[in-house]
Amino acid sequence: MVFDPHTHSVFSDGHVWPKIRVGEALRDGLDALAVTEHLEYQPHIEDIPHPDRNRSFIETAEAAKYKDLLVVAGAEITRDLPAGHMNAIFIDDANKLYSVPDAESLKTTNAFRAAANEWPSQSAVEAANEQGAFLFWNHSWWSRDFPNGIPVITDFHINNIREGLLHGIEIANGKNYSEDAFQIALDYDLALIGVSDVHDLIDWDYEPHNGGHRPVTLVFSEDRTVESMREALFDRRTVVWFKNWLMGRERDLQPLLEASLSLEDVGYRDGAILSVTVTNESDADFHLRNLSAYDLHQHAATIVVPQHSSESLLVRTGDMVESVSLEFEVLNAFVAPNETARITLSSEVE
């Protein structure tokens, strides 16, 4: 399941109506989308007051009603450290995730935000979990929180992780990736999350017409339902696709690589040099380095196999063999910060 669990519309600080988010998701081939508005930060409150904070989800779900897209209800808990920003998805009622007495009397963004921040961040986390929400820490490396760009996990996060109340962390957000966040995810058994956090237009930010794409979370669910996707996220069965990089635990990333890459048309065409074709069935280009016992003939040790395409290679096996196994380092797939994945492709010789 291809999922973008962090986007915005005009119902907080985004600049498009939720229907546009649905149209973009369909064009991008997403399976699921969450439009997650800031609860406490409402810069359009003077123009679009909406006491019911579920309106964004309602509008998004209505726009996707007859479309091939799952819409997940969510919201962004927007606080300063030690809590920071957190997304709560699979919620029932966004109105219960914040509390502002006399909210209708607060007509400006700053007044509303100041009042909203009086309610404890921990209360918001607990209210979300009471609804069965999946919570993840957003853009932990944000320079407003950590000027040096290096996130430091706080006692607030550690305690909520230990209590089972915080379940994931963004390692890719927009045009940014954090190795430190990746390591935090591995150290604290958090789901790896990738998001667009789009506020303007996907076409502006990621230029899909020029081959770009938004960061997404690949969720390995049993079937194509919201409940199955929720279960997979709680089980941490995710891989992040950011730019042309794939990042995930080996348990999840390895099956994806094996489903994407294969050897075809393996045979000796002229003498003892083996001809093979490496086929890529995925949407990502793969950059591979040959680690096998055999050298490539008339080719560097590194190759690129474009998405939905193939690359033909000549392999010097010495003696003729009846089967072949080629081991590759996948240079743009990571099982930990700076630790690349490996794959062995095998085939009988025709």
Q: What is the pLDDT of residues 168-224, one digit of tens each?
A: 999 999 999 999 999 999 999 999 999 999 999 999 999 999 999 999 999 999 999
Query: Does position 269 have pLDDT exceeding 90, yes or no?
Result: no
Superfamily for domain range 2-243: Metal-dependent hydrolases (3.20.20.140)
Beta pairing partners, 241: 216, 246
Domain 256-348, CATH among 1.10.3470.10, 1.20.1110.10, 1.10.10.60, 2.60.40.10: 2.60.40.10
Q: What are phi and psi of 115, to 5 degrees?
A: -70, -40
User: Where are the chain's structural domains?
Assistant: 2-243, 256-348
User: What is the mean predicted confidence (pLDDT) over 132-146?
Assistant: 95
Question: Residue 196: CB partners within 8 Å, gap ≥ 6?
Answer: 4, 6, 7, 173, 174, 202, 205, 206, 214, 215, 216
For residue 297, what pLDDT is reported? 95
Q: Look-up: residue for tokens 């579920």? A: 54
Residue 272 CB: number of other CB atoms within 10 A? 11
pLDDT at 106: 82
Kindly report the CA angle at 320 between 317 and 326, in degrees rounded to 5?
Answer: 40
Overall pTM > 0.85 = yes
What are the tens digits of pLDDT across the range 142-151?
Answer: 988 899 999 9
- Block residue for tokens 């042309």: 244
